[in-house]
Chains A and B, each alone.
Chain A
């Protein structure tokens, strides 16, 4: 069955509320998910999956703003709290209970840091959400196709892994595909950062011998995997840049978990 003729819907909270509906889950898109040319594809892939499975979801659309994570990590607590409090006002205004996001930085901030400012939500990373859909049988992987038997490695995002102890959900998603998961030497709790965390995404690195994403890319390439799977917009940028730097972009893909599923499902 092909979904080619489906018209995908992206309802906003405002529309849903106006129609007297309350969606089951809010998809928090994040700034990268909204603006980053490459990463917008991940947002689209995830929305297609939500459409296909028939999840009653909504997004905030233009009402969404930065969670404040990069400001907080760079030391600007005022700006972080300004962002957090206005976001909480919006979220509470729509009586949001459950949030799913593909960005581990948004995930960490919404889940762990908003409660201290009065924002209490059930927050899931999309890897956990997707794992749930697979476990419930709502997504059945087709397998085969261009993935069949190919090697894939997963790069742990620090804000998902060490920061929140989510190591298995993304791996379970990958294992559901018809692919061979090969781990890098530094994985799970020992996973090496891509170099973008702690607001590094927004400035040049300090002087050193090497860029962190190059170190990590070399490790990923050593696995011989044709696909580097990620679950974070910053990791995606850093790893893709690293692969380009090594001139391997023809042989090695950097893809988000949602893109892998969307591809498998021909979405």
Chain B
């Protein structure tokens, strides 16, 4: 027999592997444009968070309907991909269903499970398409999703539907051939789902069936490899990044803002406290910018967050500012961060100016109006099913605005002045601070 298909398969596999390797290195380099951040403390808690939130999808279950549909696709993704192992061995060795004789009855059971899951994915994807395009769930049809994000979301669903149809078509034609006694095809003793629409192919000749079976097989494997590459260009990266994203997530109380040690040293000097203990003993080589104006001022975790975001909009749907019609949308903060990181990274790759292209995340992508509207209520952080933290980006931008540009809203500047001169955010005389106590025994009873 000709080994041409095997050579072809090897080329396809190698090509996909090469593309994936390049994309993964590119994404890694892009995320590393962010500042270093140490997030490896308390590994036990980190593994636990990843197990519960990413693997166990704990936070998805705050909304039961979408959670169940998503769970079907997630389980299917993990389980059906076991079959890819057989595809690869068969493709390279020129065998057909190499595990069938080895696993015997269990193989049929496994195939039936895969088929049921495939049908589940089909149904779930159809539901998701309806939610996106017909019933138009608000968080899935907001303005920031116009254009590529909307197309991306729909493409993913259609690709998944086609991949599942390919598996079912392959099994249906494969089993028809097996029952007709065609060489190499192995009867599996009844596949429920694909068997139920085998009649569609009944009238075909063996040659046509072999064509359809092979077509579906190649479509599925090339589809999966192509999808893996596509994912690296897509919001769908969450299927991989959800895991590191939850592992590296913030474990501190959500209300705690990280201390700026650079500022601590300066304040200690101003207060004459040089010898006071500080959080950081060694002086950094360069101070850099206070807060964040562009993606290199954010931490690599912020950037990983941006690439992990699948644009579900649960954050925006819970954001009090967004709910009441303000411009701020935490999802857009993440999308903008990702878009700007990609822009800079591609600039660098193309040998252009990179970060010095005259643009910046704050200003060209995210406006002051957006970051000023945030109440730092942590609803977005709480809502994210994979522990993305849009708030930390917003607060870093406020730091930049206040400390580098003195560009805070006038009322905040007035508040700063009050704190500086009256030691309270309102303009009261510090000597009146304790006046309340004199009222305590005055009240008429």
Q: Which of B236-285 contact A (CB under 8 A)?
A: 252-257, 259-260, 263-264, 266-268, 270-271, 273, 276-279
Please classify how large the interface on chain A is, using the bins under 10, 10 to 19, 20 to 34, 35 or more.
35 or more
**A209–B325 alpha-carbon span in the complex (Å):** 5
Instruction: Tell me how many residues of B have a C-beta within 8 Å of chain A.
Output: 78
Of the listed stretches B87-95, B108-116, B332-340, B377-385, name the one at the interface; the rest are far from the partner chain. B377-385
- Contact between B432 and A35 (Cβ–Cβ < 8 Å)? yes
In the complex, which residue of chain B has the Cβ closest to the Cβ of A43?
A: B436
> Quick one: which of A61, A70, A209 contacts B437, CB cutoff 8 A?
A61
| Contact yes or no, A202 B412, CB < 8 A | yes
Q: Are A44 and B325 in contact (CB under 8 A)?
A: no
- Which residues of chain A are within 8 angstroms of B324 by Cβ–Cβ distance? 195, 205, 208-212, 214-215
Closest A residue to B435 by beta carbon equals A34
B383 — nearest CB in chain A belongs to which residue? A190
| A residues near B420, Cβ cutoff 8 Å | 79, 82
Tell me the complex Cα distance, A78–B260, Å: 9
Please pick, from A7, A76, A200, A209, the residue contacting B416 in the complex, using a CB distance under 8 A.
A76
Known: A35-B424, A70-B425, A192-B320. Is A77-B377 also a contact (CB below 8 A)? no
Known A202-B411, A203-B412; contact A208-B433, beta-carbon cutoff 8 A: no
The answer to whether the Cβ of B398 comes within 8 Å of any Cβ in the partner chain is yes
A158 and B425 form a contact (CB under 8 A): no
A253 at the interface (CB under 8 A from B): no
For B419, the chain A residues whose CB sits under 8 A away are 66, 68, 70-71, 79, 83
User: In the complex, what distance in Å separates the CA atom of A162 from the CA atom of B318?
Assistant: 13
Task: Choose from B255, B263, B321, B325 the contact partner of A78 (Cβ within 8 Å).
Answer: B263
A214 and B325 CA atoms in complex are apart in Å by 13
Contacts of A190 in B (CB 8 A): 62, 318, 379, 382
A74→B436 contact, CB < 8 A? no
CA of A155 to CA of B382 in the docked complex: distance in angstroms? Answer: 17
For A163, the chain B residues whose CB sits under 8 A away are 253-256, 378
Cβ-defined partner of A112 (8 Å) among B253, B416, B441, B443: B253
Of the listed residues B255, B409, B424, the one surrounded by the most CB atoms of chain A closer than 10 A to its CB is B255
A sample of 22 cross-chain residue pairs with beta-carbon separation below 8 angstroms, ordered by A number, consists of A10-B440, A34-B434, A61-B433, A62-B431, A74-B412, A75-B401, A76-B403, A78-B263, A81-B263, A81-B264, A85-B271, A85-B276, A108-B253, A112-B253, A158-B377, A158-B378, A158-B379, A190-B318, A190-B379, A202-B425, A209-B324, A212-B320
Show the binding face of A for B, using Cβ within 8 Å.
4, 7-8, 10, 12, 29, 31, 33-35, 40, 43-44, 47-48, 59, 61-62, 64-66, 68, 70-79, 81-83, 85-86, 108, 111-113, 116-118, 158-159, 162-165, 189-190, 192-193, 195-212, 214-216
Given A199-B376, A208-B324, 4 other A-B residues pairs in contact with their CB atoms under 8 A: A34-B436, A47-B440, A74-B415, A212-B375
Residues of chain B whose beta carbon lies under 8 Å from any beta carbon of chain A: 62, 252-257, 259-260, 263-264, 266-268, 270-271, 273, 276-279, 290-291, 318, 320-321, 323-328, 369, 372-379, 381-382, 395, 397-403, 408-409, 411-412, 414-416, 419-420, 423-426, 428, 430-437, 439-441, 443, 445
